[in-house]
Chains A and B, each alone.
Chain A
């Protein structure tokens, strides 16, 4: 899996909060770098890829954080 440049701790947050955090913080990494959204929110697995499609960013996939919480990975394209 890609190197992660910024990890957003969205544990315990419910939709749409993790996607809002992603939108707020994507600009903090350089184009080509990856942001990871860490959340157990069941909606994120659908909403993060959908957000990437709507925002023309790249959805890299899902892996897990060190504690086992799902992470949604997004590469900034613009």
Chain B
């Protein structure tokens, strides 16, 4: 069988959707090739091949721990970021069963967090955000303390996956005192250091340039986490199923490489995004550039164009060779607008999220900025505006 033929724009430089998935880092590709050849065995087995797999898994765990500044025994590999979120949040909820039942989530959490919280059947508290998508740590602390139903845990992301706004995780942890914090760090892990103050956190390798199918579940030593799902007799009691050893090692290699490069990458990307924010607001009439302009992830920006159909905008940009995501209702399988944009109270239609890969160049951003005003004007002309 053959893989689908290459299309123009499927990779950088036309691909501007790193927040959905960053192209595989060369360091990961190299390790993956080697590890696929040798990392096939069951890491629990006592034979030579098993020991090789076990060494690879331990090495992956060690590199991840060192890069993220956590202990190796706080790191578990899961089958995806979503699985890490589910196990992390629900396990913390189960571990806290004697202290409380309710789960408090920011209104702008990733749907994986919200789905897990709803699935638990627990009473839910939604922590509101401001127009920039930021949780108010003090107000959230008061809301949690004042809840009629005792709160088992609070879920707040490190930074928002759609608009980039960073959350005040450390300040919130201070406000919460004994109530533990679950932090979905999928949008920021690798790109930025983990925030402080969490008990359990989750991350996803393909967001930083590792392979898909690898998530990280991080459980602080001493955190009350209990497996919410059936146990498994694997190397690691917090994970389930046969570990994808080569992919875990490649994910660790990518994380290490991305973290080593991030001072340069983040500064370059933040400056490019500043340029996009300013240029879009100037060159496109009736546009709302959303999210915090400064205290944000370096590589992404979201804006909404009044009177424009988000699906049509994505298709037109794709036709011009740009791969870009949208939070508009017409682009979602549910036909619901992005709950993030709705919680912020900003326009949801005509929405696009541009997110830079580590290879996106200044020239590519310029080309995007050159074609965007004409595309928006053309779509508005179609509806007579």
Contacts and interface: CB of A to CB of B under 8 A. Distances in A.
Contact of B329 (A15, A23, A51): A15
Residue with the greatest number of chain B CB neighbours at <10 A, chosen from A16, A17, A23, A24: A16
A45 B341 CA distance: 12
B345 interface: yes
Interface in A2-60: 14-17, 19-20, 23-24, 41-43, 45-47, 49-51, 53-54
Contacts of B383: 17, 20
Nearest to B346: A50
Interface of A: 14-17, 19-20, 23-24, 41-43, 45-47, 49-51, 53-54
A23 B349 contact: no
Contacts of B385: 20, 23-24
Interface residues of B, number: 23
Contacts of A43: 328-329, 336-337, 348-349
Given A16-B350, A43-B329, A47-B349, A54 B286 contact: yes
Nearest to A53: B345
Q: Which 10 A-B pairs have the closest CB atoms?
A: A16-B349, A43-B337, A15-B349, A46-B342, A50-B347, A43-B329, A43-B348, A42-B336, A46-B348, A20-B307
A46 B341 contact: yes
Binding site of A, secondary structure by majority: helix, strand, loop or mixed?
helix
Contacts of A42: 329, 335-337
Given A15-B328, A43-B349, 16 more contacts: A15-B309, A16-B307, A16-B308, A20-B307, A23-B307, A42-B335, A42-B337, A43-B328, A43-B329, A46-B341, A46-B345, A46-B346, A47-B347, A49-B345, A50-B288, A51-B347
Given A14-B335, A15-B337, A43-B328, A54 B306 contact: yes
Given A14-B335, A15-B328, A20-B307, A54 B349 contact: no
A19 B346 contact: no
B347 A54 contact: yes
Interface string B298-320: 00000000111110000000000
